[in-house]
């Protein structure tokens, strides 16, 4: 026991106080400071909030873990040729004003999707691609998502959305109908479009690199 020892001689107290001070410091720098700096970032004029349907699609994106293969953060042309691939300009904090949870992602097993709606606005393409990616992109390793669709013999009912597959992938007499989750997900995907001009990400004093941007 440490009875009779001064504060700094007590290992237990040194441990607790030291550990907490250090964790507090790190949390201050990496969590609290960004919170204070980004709290007042305004959404750019060109960015629209998600509609209910798009928001629902975003939940499907989250539920099926699209984020584990697709990033949503094009990098600056000085660092990587993302823009030349049609993925868009480097994103800024304001682009994510309506994005909670954030879906920045850490992998590019598939391409960046922050501007997929601008790049591929066809809902038909997206539905078919979700049903069978290899029908559209040979060599793709994206999973197919049959559980987002219903495959039936015969015709579709009124009000149902039929997936138009390329001829070699469509089976005669069979109809592929998109479930509501698939429709919502596609609505979300085509809404991903941050091609409007970016506002400076932060006050100039904090991010001087903004000065260099056009």
Partner 1 sequence: MDFTVSVLLGTFLLSIAALFIFIWSMSKGLFGDGVAAATEIFGKNELGTVEDPAATRTQMGGLQQAMGNVAERMTEEEEESRARADKSTSLVVGVCLTLAVVWLVLASLAGLISSIKLHAPDWLVQYEWLTFGRIRPIHLNLVAYGWCSLAGVGVAIWLIPRLLKTELVGAKYALIGGALWSIGVFAGTVAIGMGYSDGLEWLEYPWKIDILLVVGGALVGFPLWLTLLQRKVEHLYVSVWYIGAGLLWFPILFLIANWPGLHFGVQQATMNWWFGHNVLGLWFTPIGLAASYYFIPKVLGKPIHSYNLSLLGFWSLAFFYSQVGGHHLIGGPIPSWLVTISIVQSMMMAIPVFAVAVNQHMTVLGNFRALAYSPTLRFIVLGAMMYTAASIQGSLEALRAVNTVTHFTHYTIAHAHLGLYGFFSMVMFGSIYFIMPRVMNWEWPYPKLISLHFWLVLIGFAIYFIWLSIGGWLQGLAMLDENTTFMQSVAITLPYLEARSIGGGLMTLGHLVFAAHFFAMGWKFGPKRLGAALLSNSLLSRLTGKGVTA
Query: Segment 10-49, which members bind partner 1 (CB under 8 A)?
Result: 11-12, 14-16, 18-20, 22-23, 25-27, 29-31, 33-35, 37-39, 41
202 touches 93 (CB < 8 A): yes
Find the binding residues for partner 1 in span 134-163 (CB under 8 A): 134, 137, 139-147
C-alpha torsion 133→137→138→143, nearest 10: -30
Q: Which is nearer to partner 1, 9 or 155 (CB)?
A: 9
Nearest by Cα to 77 from 212, 206, 205: 212
Interaction with partner 1 in 170-209: which residues (CB under 8 A)?
201-202, 205-209
Q: Is 1 in the site for partner 1 (CB under 8 A)?
A: yes
Contact 43, 84 (CB under 8 A): no
Question: Considering CB under 8 A, how many residues would be counted as binding partner 1?
Answer: 82
Closest distance to partner 1 from the beta carbon of 42 (Å)? 12
Q: Which of 206, 159, 182, 179 is nearest to 37 (CA)?
A: 206
Whether residue 182 contacts residue 127, with contact meaning beta carbons closer than 8 Å, is answered with: yes
Q: Kindly give, in sequence order, each residue whose CB lies less than 8 Å from that of residue 27, ignoring residues fewer than 6 positions away.
A: none
Residue 122 beta carbon to partner 1: minimum distance, rounded to whole angstroms: 19
**Which residue in the set 56, 88, 96, 183 belongs to the binding site for partner 1 (CB under 8 A)?**
96
Binding residue for partner 1, selected from 53, 99, 125, 177, defined by CB under 8 A:
99
Which lies closer to partner 1 via its Cβ, residue 45 or residue 107? Answer: 107
- Which residue is listed with tokens 């995907």? 189
CB 163 within 8 A of CB 150: no
Site string for partner 1, 103-122 (x = CB under 8 A): xxxxxxxxx-----------
**Residues 54, 56, 57, 66: which binds partner 1 (CB under 8 A)?**
66
């Amino acid at each position: 026991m440490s009875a009779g020892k001064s504060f700094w001689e007590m290992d237990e107290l040194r441990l607790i106080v030291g550990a907490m001070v250090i964790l507090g410091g790190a949390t201050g720098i990496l969590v609290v400071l960004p919170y204070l700096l980004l709290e007042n970032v305004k959404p750019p004029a060109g960015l629209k909030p998600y509609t209910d349907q798009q928001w629902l699609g975003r939940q499907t994106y989250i539920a099926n873990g699209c984020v584990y293969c697709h990033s949503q953060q094009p990098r600056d042309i000085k660092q990587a040729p993302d823009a030349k691939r049609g993925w868009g300009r480097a994103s800024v904090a304001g682009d994510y004003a309506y994005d909670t949870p954030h879906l920045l992602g850490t992998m590019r097993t598939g391409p960046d999707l922050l501007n997929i709606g601008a790049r591929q606005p066809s809902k038909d393409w997206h539905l078919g691609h979700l049903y069978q990616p290899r029908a559209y992109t040979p060599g793709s390793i994206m999973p197919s998502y049959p559980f987002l669709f219903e495959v039936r013999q015969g015709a579709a009912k009124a009000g149902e959305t039929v997936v138009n597959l390329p001829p070699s992938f469509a089976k005669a007499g069979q109809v592929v109908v998109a479930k509501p989750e698939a429709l919502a997900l596609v609505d979300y995907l085509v809404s991903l479009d941050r091609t409007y001009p970016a506002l400076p990400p932060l006050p100039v004093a904090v991010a001087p690199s903004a000065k260099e941007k056009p």
